[in-house]
Amino acid sequence: MAHRSPAELLVLHAVRLTGFAGTGAVAARFGLDPEQTHEDLLDAEAYGRVTRVAFAGLTGWSLTEAGRRHNESQLRDELDGVAARDAVTAVHDDFLPLNAQATQSFTSWQLRTLDSGAPAATGDILRQLAQRLRPLEHRLTAHLSRFGGYHRRFAAALDRAADDPAWITGVEVDSCHRVWFELHEDLVASLGVAR
């Protein structure tokens, strides 16, 4: 049975993965109770691990450097505690060539000219990546349940992109790019390696 991470770890990790988010979004990232998440965020703020930030009319939480170090320590201890380091390292190694394809596809999508439309090849590559993401996620969730949901989110964004291209690289939605970026951040943070 996969290990379920403690709420304190998940709250900090959600802030790290989202970069900047309100309490509701932090709680939703891992299906946590919103009221308890708010309390956990206030505790983390008291310890200097998160800070409340206002930007462009939005208010949310952001990880401090102390919070980043603490979360990395939590992730390292969890990975070693459930003996999952080798499995996560193997997935990361298999992820890297896919990440190169994804990065190239997202860049191609973002650089397309307005009159040329969406490159069909990009959609094909992203559909292939969605299929290859499923077994990687399965290997991860066999050890740590917090890795669940990436394939579902990526595939849902790809489906929605058929009607709205913002779902490929948009920043205002849970786009393919955002999901892919979060997975990459989740892997490197868990392993304590650089991007």
Q: Is residue 2 part of a domain?
A: no
Q: To which residue do tokens 């206002």 refer?
A: 54
**How many domains is the chain built from?**
2
CA distance 110 to 189: 26
Q: What is the pLDDT of residue 114?
A: 46
CA 156 to each of CA 1, 128, 150, 160, 174: distance values in angstroms, whole numbers, following the listed order:
26, 14, 10, 6, 9
pLDDT above 50 (res 166)? yes
Q: Are residues 184 and 92 in the same domain?
A: yes
CA distance 75 to 70: 9
Q: Are residues 150 and 177 in the same domain?
A: yes
> Which CATH number characterizes residue 38's domain?
1.10.10.10
Q: Are residues 169 and 111 in the same domain?
A: yes
Number of residues that make up the chain: 195
178, 149 Cβ separation under 8 angstroms: no
Q: Domain range spanning residue 40?
A: 7-76
Q: Are residues 56 and 94 in the same domain?
A: no
DSSP state of 21: B
Q: Are residues 58 and 115 in the same domain?
A: no
Q: What is the pLDDT of residue 115?
A: 45
Write out pLDDT tens, residues 120-146: 678 889 999 999 999 999 999 999 999
Q: Are residues 62 and 99 in the same domain?
A: no
Q: Are residues 25 and 89 in the same domain?
A: no
Q: Is residue 47 part of a domain?
A: yes
Q: Is residue 121 part of a domain?
A: yes
Q: Are residues 72 and 167 in the same domain?
A: no
Write out pLDDT tens, residues 30-86: 999 999 999 999 999 999 999 998 878 889 999 999 999 999 999 999 999 999 999
Q: Which of 55, 76, 97 is the last residue of a domain?
A: 76
Buried b (16+ CB within 10 A) or exposed e, 156-170: bbbebbeeebebbbb
pLDDT above 90 (res 17)? yes
pLDDT above 50 (res 103)? yes
- Helix residue ranges, H only, the chain: 7-18, 23-29, 34-46, 65-81, 85-111, 120-141, 150-161, 166-169, 176-191
Long-range contacts of 84-89 (CB under 8 A, 24+ apart): 84/3, 84/143, 84/144, 85/191, 87/139, 87/140, 87/142, 87/143, 88/140, 88/143, 88/144, 88/187, 88/190, 88/191, 89/191
CA distance 123 to 147: 24
Q: Is residue 103 part of a domain?
A: yes
pTM of the complete model: 0.91
Q: Is residue 68 part of a domain?
A: yes
Q: Which of 76, 105, 127 is the last residue of a domain?
A: 76
Q: Are residues 89 and 50 in the same domain?
A: no
Q: Are residues 91 and 161 in the same domain?
A: yes
Q: For strand 58-63 and strand 50-55, is the pairing parallel, antiparallel, or unpaired? A: antiparallel
Q: Which of 23, 46, 76 is the last residue of a domain?
A: 76
